[in-house]
A and B are shown apart, each in its own frame.
Chain A
C-alpha cells in the first residue's frame, strides 16, 4: 500500500536532548513537509522540500533541522534550541507543491513529549 509512514508514534525525551522524527513515503511525491500541531493552533509549517537536497524554512523553523538526501525520506530533528517542543508533528507529501495541483497526504503523526 502506498502512503506516508511516520515513526515513532509516541516519543518521550528529557529536556535538552535532540530528537529525530522519521518520515518515509512511497508515493513518489516530489514535495514533502513538516507541520507542527498544537491545540487550537491549527497546522504550522516548519520546513518543506521540493526536491532532493533542497529544503526551505517555513513559518516556525527555529529550533528544528531537516535533511532530504533521498526522495522518499524527510527526517525532522527537534533540537535542544526549540523552546517548547512538546507537540504533535505531522509529515506530509504532495505531487509538486500542494495548492498547485493537488492535495497534501499526511502521515499519522508523531506525538513528542518533553519531560
Chain B
C-alpha cells in the first residue's frame, strides 16, 4: 500500500533559525496536503499542492512539490515560538482517494 515517510521526527531549533521537514512517498502522488497541530490541539490545514514542481509561500512558510510528485517539503524561515507544533504531510495517490498521513515532524523552538 501507499506509504508516506516524513523526516525528521523531531527538530529542535533556536528562535530565528530555519526549519525544514521532508515527505517522501513510495508512489506518485496526485496531490499533497500539509497540516499543523499545535501541542494539545488538532490538525489544521495549511495548504494543498497539486502540480509537479509547484512552490507555494505563506509568509515565512515555503511548500514545494517535487518534479516527480513523490516528495514534498515545508521550509520555515526564521522560526518563531508560535511555529511550535507538529507538521504533517498527507499524500493521495491516483489509486486511492483517501490521503495517507506521514508520522509528522515535531518542531520545538527555543527562545
Contacts and interface: CB of A to CB of B under 8 A. Distances in A.
A106 B44 contact: yes
A42 interface: yes
A74 to B, nearest CB: 15
* SS of B interface (majority): strand
Contacts of B102: 42
Nearest to A33: B98
Contact of A105 (B9, B45, B101): B45
Contacts of B59: none
A90 B90 contact: no
A43 B88 contact: yes
B12 to A, nearest CB: 16
B42 A107 contact: yes
Nearest to A6: B42
Given A42-B88, A98-B98, A104-B43, 5 more contacts: A40-B103, A43-B88, A58-B98, A90-B42, A106-B42
Interface of B: 1, 6, 9, 30-31, 33, 35, 41-45, 48, 88, 90, 92, 97-99, 101-104
Interface of A: 33, 35, 40-45, 48, 58-59, 90, 97-100, 102-109
15 contacts: A35-B101, A42-B6, A42-B88, A43-B43, A43-B88, A44-B101, A48-B98, A98-B98, A99-B31, A99-B99, A100-B97, A102-B48, A103-B33, A104-B99, A106-B44
